């Protein structure tokens, strides 16, 4: 893979489109990407090593290797994500991991908590564990799986057990509105 060439022109802040670096010819990038499919797997591994300074991950399929290399070609040609976007995405990923098993991020369920819901005349109890939820003596990874078992239909588990805030309640809680 060859890196994108820069024609040396500087991008000025005055917004003049003629002062910006030229975008590479679209057909050239498309030709390079199309050429990836005809390369041998060994050749793709060499291209991966040149790009990442290490071999491709074990078990990475040929198709995924081609897709990753094609993505890299596009990123080199058209530019990648901006500086501000990368930390924002990492922040969102961290917040997603910290969210407690699909429950409202502001709500933390402690192990030992019991959730109770009546459904069609039956009372259903769920015990919160550190690694999931127990219902009728069976351990589940999510409340959604339990809600689907109870209702025999697709339900959001946190919503079924009343653990999510409604949009109208969120809007009313925001100051200055």
Sheet holding 122-129, edge to edge: 114-119, 122-129, 132-135, 138-140
Predicted local confidence at residue 26, as pLDDT: 61
Structure tokens at 63: 């198709």
| CA–CA separation, 27 and 169 (whole Å) | 52
pLDDT digit string, tens, across residues 129-149: 988 899 999 999 888 999 999
pLDDT at 101 over 60: no
pTM of this prediction? 0.40
| CA–CA separation, 102 and 76 (whole Å) | 36
74: confidence class by pLDDT, cuts 50, 70, 90? confident
- Bridge partner residues of 143 (DSSP): none
Cα 113 from chain centroid?
A: 30
| CA–CA separation, 70 and 80 (whole Å) | 13
């Amino acid at each position: 893979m060859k890196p994108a060439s820069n024609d040396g022109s500087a991008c000025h802040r005055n917004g003049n489109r003629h002062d910006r670096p030229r975008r590479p010819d679209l057909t050239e990038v498309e030709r390079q990407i199309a050429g990836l499919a005809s390369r041998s797997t060994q050749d793709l591994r060499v291209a991966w090593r040149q790009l990442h300074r290490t071999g491709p991950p074990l078990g990475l399929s040929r198709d995924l290797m081609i897709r990753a290399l094609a993505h890299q070609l596009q990123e080199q040609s058209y530019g990648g994500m901006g500086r501000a976007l990368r930390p924002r995405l990492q922040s969102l990923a961290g917040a997603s991991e910290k969210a407690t098993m699909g429950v409202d991020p502001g709500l933390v369920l402690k192990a030992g908590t019991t959730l109770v819901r009546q459904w069609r005349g039956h009372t259903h109890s769920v015990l919160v564990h550190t690694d999931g939820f127990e219902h009728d003596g069976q351990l589940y990874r999510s409340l959604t799986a339990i809600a689907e078992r109870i209702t025999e239909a697709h339900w959001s588990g946190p919503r079924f057990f009343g653990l999510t805030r409604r949009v109208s309640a969120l809007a009313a809680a925001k100051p200055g509105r």
